[in-house]
A and B are shown apart, each in its own frame.
Chain A
């Protein structure tokens, strides 16, 4: 498998650009919040209105390069999930955001081809088991993650991994 989690995910694409930083995903004034639903209401506050309006249950966010750069705030991926984002396809992810998303069990896939093909409202289908993401029926390859990350995801994210290790002590 490639990408996060297992199984098939379908949804409508919502596009954001290159180098979208976590300040734009979740501005600093909301960092005292910790509830997922509450954070979800503030996601992309101040970003393009199209994105604010378009985000909802089942959204597959399709991003350019270096998505999630900047601050390590986990409030950003938590808020995306709270707003209904079920997966993120990008040309590339910033390091800390990628770790955070995988830890939280948010399916993330790297596919420059899919990201280039998609437009707002495109039908996106991610087949994690096969390592394929299709955009309006056109199949695109996915960049595979290292085995360790795939194992981590199959264990259900970092929380399950730690639980298992603590139980083994």
Chain B
């Protein structure tokens, strides 16, 4: 019987022979990722476990992104703990303020994610790496501490659901809209404990695929993969030379379910406040007033997103009673956006452009919402209280929709701003 991508990758990292779904194995990850929120708790637990040395410093990647740059004494202390761990353990893969950016956009950019890799991270959006044909999954700090100490972690081999897309997409439909459409279908626990595989997305760039895989965890999934194709191969050749092998599912792999979507059957999608699974067509929420627009985060802070935002905002102005915050996900993206003139366009339109940070997305700093305020964002979570006051409302959408909403001061169809477009 054939295997899914998840089964193949786990099998190759475990010394357990042939594996099957449901089985629990000890696997050796290629990378163990920690950030300035999950790191300090993990270091504390690492000591309590009686560990003194990490199993393999080369496995470990430390990224300062949640508090970066430190907004408080507590945040500064957390970031200091990261630097101390780097120093005491001799960790090479370390990214401080000004050196990196948001972890899940950064790691692939740095060549630290390869097809076929197994990556565990102290962050739930570690699933983003499925865009690159890698098994990424999030865990808590105690699990991460165990992996640092042992070099291994236990994993239950997940069953997989398959999602097949057919046809071409409508104008202004992006990776974000694809994953929101999927979440609309399966709900916030429709893939709990499972893996997801996506097919038929050949027209979607790697940036858009990151947006898709980033949010599989909002459906409860442990990992999600865009089936590798020529787009994956081109990306990998560019970043990794020939040091990679794509991992595809077998033709006779076993799936829990297969769902098929026609790409031309839906337009831009928007998640309404409270749940990333409460998704509707953009047309149903058009006109909703927005106080803040936020373009950034590990799902949609890529150069592709910034280009989409600039396309909408170039030569236009952010509405008088609305504020726009744009956060390039990494230093490299920031610089590329500067060189392309995107940052100039955004600032001229009235945007506040910030250094890479997870700040406002997780309700930490750099753009929180007050009581009764409404935001539309390209982030991945709109849980109650996520970005500040519990009675602030958060809509999730693509950068096109977010930028158009900034111009209108209300949720707005990008076609209204840019004009109708041929497919």
Contact = CB atoms under 8 A, between A and B. Distances in A.
B383 A31 contact: no
A88 to B, nearest CB: 15
A71 B297 CA distance: 14
Contacts of B222: 95
A154 interface: no
A117 to B, nearest CB: 22
Contacts of B188: 19, 66, 69
Contacts of B363: 23, 27-29
A66 B383 CA distance: 14
B72 interface: yes
A94 B220 contact: yes
Nearest to A102: B142
Contacts of A71: 124, 362, 381
B189 A92 contact: yes
A165 B150 CA distance: 8
B142 A66 contact: no
Contact of A148 (B24, B41, B189, B385): B24
Interface in B41-58: 41, 44-45, 48-51
Contacts of A21: 381, 383
Interface in A1-42: 19, 21, 23-24, 27-29, 31-34
Contacts of A149: 24
A73 B37 contact: yes
B192 A94 contact: yes
Given A28-B363, A158-B146, A69 B189 contact: yes
B130 interface: no
Nearest to B149: A162
A94 B368 CA distance: 27
Interface residues of B, number: 54
Contacts of A69: 188-189, 220
Given A72-B122, A92-B192, A159-B142, A166 B51 contact: yes
A24 B141 CA distance: 19
B390 interface: yes
B143 A31 contact: no
A99 to B, nearest CB: 6
Contacts of B150: 162, 165-166
B140 A33 contact: no
B189 A94 contact: yes
A81 B57 CA distance: 32
Interface residues of A, number: 46
B40 interface: yes
B75 interface: yes
Given A28-B363, A74-B38, A74-B142, A95 B192 contact: yes
Contact of B386 (A28, A95, A99): A28
Contacts of B77: 32
A168 to B, nearest CB: 11
Contacts of A74: 38, 41, 140-142
Given A71-B124, A162-B51, A23 B386 contact: yes
Given A72-B123, A94-B189, A159 B48 contact: yes
Contact of B220 (A31, A75, A78, A95): A95
B387 to A, nearest CB: 8
B138 interface: yes
B138 A72 contact: yes
A31 B364 contact: yes
Contact of B149 (A32, A65, A166): A166
A11 B285 CA distance: 45
B315 interface: no
Given A72-B38, A146-B156, A159-B142, A95 B193 contact: yes
A96 interface: yes
Interface string B353-387: 00000000011100010000000000001011110
Given A74-B38, A92-B189, A158 B385 contact: no
B184 to A, nearest CB: 15
Quick one: which of A65, A71, A149, A163 has the most chain B CB within 10 A?
A: A71
A104 interface: yes
B334 interface: no
B124 A159 contact: no
A105 B185 CA distance: 35
Contact of A24 (B24, B51, B149, B383): B383
B72 to A, nearest CB: 6
B49 A163 contact: yes
Top 3 A-B residue pairs of the complex, sorted by shortest distance between their CB atoms: A32-B74, A28-B363, A46-B390
